[in-house]
Amino acid sequence: MALRVVQWATGGVGVAAIRGVLDHPELELVGCWVHSDAKAGRDVGDIVGTAPLGVIATNSVDEILALDADAVIYTPLLPNPDEVTALLRSGKNVVSPVGWFYPSEKEAAPLRAAAEAGGVTLHGTGIAPGGISEKFPLLMSAMSTGVTFVRAEEFSDLRTYEAPDVLRYVMGFGDTPDKALSGPMQKLLDGGFVQSVRMIVDAMGFAAEPKIRSSQEIAVATAPIDSPLGAIEPGQVAARRFHWEALVGDDVVVRVTVNWLMGEENLDPAWDFGPEGQRYEMEVRGNPDFTVVIKGFQSEFGEHGPESGIVATAAHCVNSVPAVCAAPPGVSTYLDLPFISGKAASGLGTGPR
């Protein structure tokens, strides 16, 4: 029997998740929550650009709570713990890329209570945070001893991110430096990346200070830069860099960094991606030292179609559903779940459909 899955929200990640569910031999799409009245009442296939699926989107939370389903892939722009609590209490496992990767006990306690009441599990996953920023550095660290430093770093060209309102009003691009530095982005990112750093600290046994140090930098345009939100004019924010660090005394033992640039030209300071271009990097210093570079999750400027990182984020959620449904009730992190993989394409696999 296939696991019955609901998709919550149909932005970029949500649409990719629906397509992933349709491709997964162990999953069946049975419901979809949408934010807008314009999408409510439409066949989900019409929303995502496939043939009709016989699943009608709804913007009624009560309809979703009442639906007979095993799991919800929860992908709104911003997390709402009350929504997740209600989904868990209704007996639905929740997999999400917008939080709960390694929550503190204070944050986890009410969600764990809801999950245990519903007999289900909550799991946070994704790409960064989620995956690249903690799961995979920990996996790679198994090939080194005496570890002294772990780094995970993203280098991305945000001219490929076709979400102008998010770029301007949430991420602060095209704004003045003062407004960007005091805007919501640092706090929003802290919610996930601090958890990433703490997971590495705890799993590796670093005697780090409890407080994770965060910082940010900006670069401004020196000439007009074409972007998804229109031209970024001289003096406006055109690149952002965020760091999260765990320290033992004065030594940084874990660092996670995000580099978001609107291209590599006309920036002050003159930031660039370096000769390797867009990528994710993971570094471990120990015996031996090594660096892992991952390419392919970022689309190149000028390419058309869904951004690769968005599809990868959705895939990590989709592929986690069977393991999450099989986990004991509560809040499960990467440290609690078994090894998770993708599944063979249709026609090449042995799984049921």
pLDDT for the residue 106:
95
DSSP class of 336? T
**Which residues does 312 contact at the CB level (< 8 Å), separation at least 6?**
127, 297
Per-position b or e across 309-318, b if 16+ CB within 10 A of its CB: bbbbbbbbbb
Q: What is the pLDDT of residue 351?
A: 60
For 3-127+310-331, CATH number out of 3.30.420.40, 1.10.3470.10, 3.40.50.720, 3.40.50.20 equals 3.40.50.720
3-state secondary structure of 43: strand
Name the pTM for this structure.
0.93
| Predicted local confidence at residue 256, as pLDDT | 98
Q: Report how far residue 316's alpha carbon sits from residue 47's, in angstroms, rounded to the nearest whole number.
A: 22
Write down the pLDDT at residue 268: 97
Residue 222 to residue 267: CA distance in whole angstroms: 6
Q: By C-alpha distance, which of 100, 43, 131, 133 is closest to 315?
A: 131
DSSP code of residue 144: -
pLDDT in tens, the chain (353 residues): 899 999 999 999 999 999 999 999 999 999 999 999 999 999 999 999 999 999 999 999 999 999 999 999 999 988 999 999 999 999 999 999 999 999 999 999 999 999 999 999 999 999 999 999 999 999 999 999 999 999 999 999 999 888 898 899 989 999 999 999 999 899 999 999 999 999 999 999 999 999 999 999 999 999 999 999 999 999 999 999 999 999 999 999 999 999 999 999 999 999 999 999 999 999 999 999 999 999 999 888 867 666 788 999 999 999 999 999 999 999 999 999 999 999 998 888 876 54
Helix axes 81-89, 105-118, angle to 10 degrees: 30
For domain 135-296, the CATH architecture is: 2-Layer Sandwich (3.30)
Dihedral angle sign, alpha carbons of residues 211, 127, 291, 273: negative
Neighbours of 61 (CB within 10 A): 15
Task: Cite the residue boundaries of each domain of the chain with CATH code 3.30.360.
Answer: 135-296
206 alpha carbon, distance to own chain's centre: 25
**Delimiting residues of CATH 3.40.50.720 domain(s) in the chain:** 3-127+310-331
